[in-house]
Amino acid sequence: MQALTPNNAVKLDAKISPAAPAQSGASVQWAVVNDMQIATAFASAEVEQARKKVLGVTDVSCFPRYGFKGPQAAQWAADHELAIPSSPNSWTLSDQKSLVLRLGGSEFVLEDQMGGVACEKLSSISARVAGVYKVPRADAAFILSGSAVLNLFAELCSLDLRPSALLANDVIMTQVAGISAIVIRQTHNGEPVYRIWCDGTYGAYMWETLIEIAVELGGGAVGLASYQH
């Protein structure tokens, strides 16, 4: 995954985060990461750190993703040295830098975190394998951090997402703000966080909804640069 290079100039050939249309403002700092224009900062580092402690919302739609499924998908992944969850509806880390979600028995989503390169490696494989099919991913993806995260979910999701109600590596397929979404609990850069993925066409709506509640609870928008270390 590429390092952040802050630059408010628009790169015309870069993709734009699905949430970007809802992220206007003169204070927003932008960068192109993995060929996607992404918000790296919304306020000073001090303000964003304070938001993260209460309820920070970060757009990480630029994290690379690779989807694949089929009756031979699990074996294919193992053949390419990718650690996968042993049971459906769970997740694991491969090489500590790539998140692997198992959606049902034979469908997987791989997402590289900062420094991960597994998606790039799999994308470079040109040979087709019987029983393995690539699944295009165009997700809007977010990190939610802070002490008030569960208060937000209480308003937007009917499921109980407290740590006491979930196993550490559960993958939850549910609705958040009326939109089909995938939710997990994760430790990211040593911080306990929740992750949300939804269809990219709902990215701006999801961002607006999350930010509205985050601000009400004393948090707010946090740029990607806050997670670069």
User: HEC states along 87-109?
Assistant: CCCEEEEECCCEEEEEECCCEEE
pLDDT in tens, the chain (229 residues): 455 555 554 555 789 999 999 998 889 999 999 999 999 999 999 999 999 999 999 999 999 999 999 999 999 999 999 999 999 999 999 988 899 999 989 999 999 998 899 999 999 988 889 999 999 999 999 999 999 999 999 999 999 999 999 889 999 999 999 999 999 999 877 889 999 999 999 999 999 999 999 999 999 999 999 987 5
Q: How far is CA 195 from CA 66, 70, 153, 170, in A?
A: 17, 25, 12, 12
Give the per-residue pLDDT at 4.
53
Contact 99, 111 (CB under 8 A): yes
Give the per-residue pLDDT at 70.
96
Residue bearing tokens 């050939």:
13
Give the per-residue pLDDT at 79.
93
What is the distance between the alpha carbons of residues 128 and 143, in angstroms, rounded to a whole number?
Answer: 34
pTM of the model: 0.93
